[in-house]
Amino acid sequence: MRLTTLAAAVTFAASCVGNVRAQSKMAVGIEGGALSGFDESLFQLGLRVTPSRGGYGSVDFAFATLPDYLLNGTLVFLMDLGVTYGAPRDSSPVFVFPHGGVSMLGVVGLSNGGGGAEVGYNVGAGLLVLASPRIGVTVDYTYRRISGGEVPLSSITFGLMFMH
């Protein structure tokens, strides 16, 4: 069932990319921030791929790890895949990207083996400020609800983006 939900979300996201104009570009970058939802906030570090222009629908992808757990021999990661639509449509240096889609929280024991994953959904919004035609900075807020978890997870991240 979870695999079916993920496959449907990926298909929906791919169909939204079909109307992307030729001049549209993607931004790829690194980001770090705080993940809350546990007894305390945790530092997360990851990658994000998002549009670098407004005025069209596209895919938003993020992959983040929690380095605190990695130091203890456990790989904990979050993956978000969704759709977004950037605004405004003009050539402004500031764009807002509301996004929503599916999330996966995974755990892998590096020293003793084992692991598992749960899927859920996410909604949020990102702000991309272009510092130059090739570099920008982003601030993103994401709210996640993972199945099997009573506590929602939310994160705020800051990143350095490179236009591609």
Residue 133, domain member (yes or no): yes
pLDDT at 35: 95
Q: Does a structural domain hold residue 47?
A: yes
Nearest of 113, 88, 86 to residue 25 by alpha carbon: 86
Domain count, the chain: 1
> Per the domain annotation, does 21 fall within a domain?
no
Look at the pTM and tell me if it is higher than 0.85: no
Query: CA nearest 80: which of 164, 154, 162?
Result: 154
The reply to whether 20 falls in a domain is: no
Residues 20, 51: Cα–Cα separation, whole Å? 10
Q: Domain containing 61: what range?
A: 2-14+27-163
Does the residue 88 lie in any domain?
Answer: yes
Residue 72 has a pLDDT of: 86
The answer to the question of residue 6 being in a domain is yes
Asked whether residue 22 is assigned to any structural domain, the reply reads no
Per-residue pLDDT of the chain (164 residues; tens, 9 = 90+): 454 544 444 444 444 444 443 444 899 999 999 999 877 899 999 999 999 888 888 999 999 999 999 888 999 999 999 999 989 887 789 999 999 999 999 999 988 888 999 999 999 999 999 999 899 999 999 999 998 777 899 999 999 999 97
pLDDT at position 149: 73
- Is 80 part of any domain? yes
- In this structure, are residues 35 and 28 in contact, taking their beta carbons and an 8 Å threshold? no
Instruction: Give, in degrees to the nearest 5, the angle at Cα 136 between 120 and 159.
Output: 40
Q: What is the CATH number of the domain that holds 69?
A: 2.40.160.20
Distance between CA atoms of residues 136 and 124, nearest Å: 19
